[in-house]
Amino acid sequence: MKTHAQAVIIGGGVVGVSVLYHLAVAGMRDVVLLEQNELTSGSTWHAAGGVTTLNSDANVSRLQKYTFDLYRELEKTTGLSCGIHHNGGIYLAADDGQMDFLKLIHSRARTLKMDTELISVSEAKARNVLIEEQHFKGALWREDGGHVDPWLVTQAYASAARELGAEINRFTKVMALNARPDGSWDVVTDKGTIHAEHVVNAAGLWAREIGRMVGLDLPVLAMEHHYLVTEALPELEGLEREIINTSDFTGEIYLRQEGKGVLLGTYEQNCRPWSPITTPDDFHSQLLPNDIERIAPELERGFKHFPALARAGIKKLVNGPFTFSPDGNPLVGPVKGLRNFWVACAVMAGFSQGGGVGLVLSRWIKDGDPGQDVLAMDVSRYGPYATPAYTAIKVDENYKRRFRLAFPNEEMPAARPLRRTPIYDSLKQRGALFGANFGLENALWFAPKGVEPVENPTYRRSNAMPFVREECLTVRERVGLYESSNYGKYEITGKGSRTWLDRVFACRIPRPGRMCIAPMLNSSARIIGDLSIACLAEDRYLIIGSGFAETFHMRWFWSSDPPDNVFIRAASSTLTGFSIAGPHARQVLQKLTHQDLSNEAFRFFAVREMALGMSPAIVCRAGFTGELGYEIWVTPDYQQTLFDEIMMAGEAFGIGLFGGRALSSLRLEKNYGSFNKDFRPDYTVGETGLDAFVDFNKPDFVGKSAAVAEKESGPKRRFVVFSVDAPQADVIGYEVVLKDGEPVGYCTSGSWGHFVGKSLAAGYVPTALAGDGETFEIDILGQHCRAVIVERPLHDPDGLRLRS
């Protein structure tokens, strides 16, 4: 065994060998994989091996497509079979909501250049003779996907990695991980110690144990998962090809052909976690006791929807553990505070996602960047709130909903409320319907008196629409108050703050008493963050950004080498906030302070520390609605008092509360993009239009050379806002944008513009097509809706109101 390696990968399942292979392909040949038993002896060996290319996140879908295509390449490279059954897949819909989902997926597939087709139930039955047509309304066929042999795929990865010089050590147990001051690691095993520049935790069922060696409590939990294989079915005799892999949302059943029989699995409601505290060391190549009674309700529905299965004998029952994260997506990437320590775990769909995970992680380790947007599976999407107790509750919820649709306007209830601000109860008493952002409750909309704050899950416009409209009109015509505590907040202090910020951010750093829009770029000039910086003093700054990205941004700050005289602190729990906006916003706040808030004394993008009523506050002349507005930040002990005082001061001006849904509508009426929805690491600063806030005259900043090169050549695509003739539904995200019937772009977000009376959508199209008034069509739930680019905002295009 080697005593030194560029990287040590811990875990010999499909994910670990994929990471090993991809690191070797990337040129890191001095890499070692350690497996405490035989390869594939954890979850990999009993996996069903299904492969699908579709995921609720478009970027994960791209990586799943890459994974499936990679299996062909592995076969060519190694001469070994991966046991590929390229038979595509069918999703069956039993009601209108499920049909809407399939229409959305079909539109997204065109964006991703994947081959799908909406088909009738009779056409679905022609591809899977087992379907009982009467239970379904329609189906979606996908060309990519199928299933593979788990053991053969793992061996192919391993063989290809060895050919490139990688080393695999089986039956080698990791005993300890010791960090060195230079960021490298001593990996202590029962066969000796390896000094490694990087360590990758791809330990699957044992990922928690490896994490605990370095002080991590990863949000991972294993669940028992059943599937069965039937005896031979007469209905399958004489078919020219295998039946197509089939997913049944209503039955919560997936099935595919296995020999002359069928493999059928389910995500049962009566689910059970496995080994919730510690994974046994001696659990290798083992199954769990069969408990078919737990899946009996799902099997009953499955037999009803696929009657031939009810007549078949059971050849084999499999019950084995798989690991899940709270939202079901993998945990991938570097961990803040642990130099050169990486995770690649909770990859439940290992044969759909393992190749993509290996690809992005190898780029990240070698080049310092994953090469594409991986926010949906970045380990940093969780914060300290993701405790083991939280993880257990959310994994249970996610497992039960694996085959149940998650509507875009639906909020998952498990483990809530968790994080609450002091005014949570006050907002609840006023009819708030809450969502959760980074574990923190935030109001989405408010029900008027006599109306229950309940929203019907749908892909179309919901029952909340009239209430959200009233909130939007309140902001545009009078004054509205929004609780902004769910924003990310960071305090930067110390003598070196300005110099460090000047390097990390692409904008001109504001002087005391001023704030600015602050794009943060990676070395390729892609968007890492769309934040704002408020300068409170020469050595004191408040940065505001997206709440979900707190750990993501703190990791980026930490990796940007702040000097000893710069101190960075996340302030999400120590600062609460409000946004007040509307024509009467100044008059309301002026009643609470002796300081002059006139436009001459307190200009747009000014920031000041002042007393508001009885509360010391930081007040910024800014907002996200396009109206005269202010953002206010106070410590939690003052929030309730200030809330009461603002509401009392605003009574005479018709003040009302508004939530996140109204904010989404208001910001699209102003052509404002939003980080995570519209601005993500896939997009360059020029493509987003955030280059308007870049100081190209600065000597240097992260991403400058790439940003300058793009400025000189011009971006290939542009962020635009469309006015859409959409009679029944608004854009959700990643719907295809068509020009003369051909895909040319896609949407990133959408909403009904309640004040302008238009359906609005944001997205990206080629620069040559990004002109004002250019017409397109957007496929919204199967309907091609005319869409026109509006270069200038439909509301207050000159920005006079927000600067008034």
Q: Is the pLDDT of residue 471 over 90?
A: yes
Segment 743-762 mean pLDDT: 98
- Residue 379's contacts (CB-CB under 8 Å, 6 or more residues apart) are 218, 331, 332, 333, 334, 335, 343
Segment 714-726 mean pLDDT: 98
DSSP string over 105-120: HHHHHHHTT--EEEE-
Q: Are 261 and 232 in contact (CB under 8 A)?
A: yes
Tens digits of per-residue pLDDT, 159-203?
999 999 999 999 999 999 999 999 999 999 999 999 999 999 999
Q: Are 606 and 515 in contact (CB under 8 A)?
A: yes
Give the pLDDT confidence score for residue 627 in this predicted structure: 98
Please give the share of the chain, as a percent, with pLDDT higher than 90. 98
d(CA 577, CA 530): 19
Q: Is the pLDDT of residue 301 over 90?
A: yes
Give the pLDDT confidence score for residue 54 in this predicted structure: 85
Which neighbouring-strand residues pair with 535? 541
d(CA 518, CA 544): 9
Strand arrangement, sheet containing 515-521: 515-521, 527-537, 540-545, 488-493, 567-570
Which neighbouring-strand residues pair with 91? 140, 247
d(CA 117, CA 107): 10
Which neighbouring-strand residues pair with 179? 185
| Beta pairing class for 167-169 and 31-34 | parallel
Instruction: Tell me which residue of 553, 559, 565 sits closest to 499, measured CA to CA.
Output: 565
Tens digits of per-residue pLDDT, 770-795?
999 999 999 999 999 999 999 999 99
d(CA 765, CA 400): 38
d(CA 120, CA 135): 12
Q: Is the pLDDT of residue 55 over 90?
A: no
Q: Is the pLDDT of residue 328 over 90?
A: yes
Segment 74-95 mean pLDDT: 96
Give the pLDDT confidence score for residue 102 in this predicted structure: 96
Tens digits of per-residue pLDDT, 6-36?
999 999 999 999 999 999 999 998 999 999 9
Q: Is the dihedral of CA 645, 650, 656, 658 positive or negative?
A: negative
- Model confidence band, residue 334 (pLDDT cutoffs 50, 70, 90): very high
Give the pLDDT confidence score for residue 509 in this predicted structure: 98
- Residue 678's contacts (CB-CB under 8 Å, 6 or more residues apart) are 688, 719, 748, 749, 762, 763
What is the rounded average pLDDT for all residues in the chain?
A: 96
Q: Which residue's entry shows tokens 């769910």?
A: 486
Tens digits of per-residue pLDDT, 524-560?
999 999 999 999 999 999 999 999 999 999 999 999 9
Tens digits of per-residue pLDDT, 124-167?
999 999 999 999 999 999 999 899 999 999 999 999 999 999 99
Q: Which residue's entry shows tokens 């955030």?
A: 690
- Model confidence band, residue 754 (pLDDT cutoffs 50, 70, 90): very high
- Residue 646's contacts (CB-CB under 8 Å, 6 or more residues apart) are 481, 578, 580, 588, 589, 592, 612, 613, 655
DSSP string over 229-274: EE---GGGTT-SSPPPEEEETTTTEEEEEETTEEEEEE--SS--EE
Give the pLDDT confidence score for residue 666 in this predicted structure: 98
Q: Phi/psi at 334 (nearest 5 deg)?
A: -80, 160
Give the pLDDT confidence score for residue 73 in this predicted structure: 96
Give the pLDDT confidence score for residue 156 in this predicted structure: 98
Give the pLDDT confidence score for residue 735 in this predicted structure: 98
Tens digits of per-residue pLDDT, 634-678?
999 999 999 999 999 999 999 999 999 999 999 999 999 999 999
Cα 44 to the chain's mean position, in Å?
25
Q: Is the pLDDT of residue 406 over 90?
A: no
Q: What is the pTM of this model?
A: 0.96
What is the DSSP secondary structure assignment for residue 451, as one 8-state letter? S
Q: Is the pLDDT of residue 71 over 90?
A: yes
Q: Is the pLDDT of residue 405 over 90?
A: no
d(CA 437, CA 222): 25
Q: Are 26 and 366 in contact (CB under 8 A)?
A: yes
Segment 700-711 mean pLDDT: 98
Q: Is the pLDDT of residue 82 over 90?
A: yes
Q: Are 321 and 273 in contact (CB under 8 A)?
A: no
Q: How far apart are the first and last CA of the chain?
A: 71
Structure tokens at 107: 């539109």
Give the pLDDT confidence score for residue 225 in this predicted structure: 96
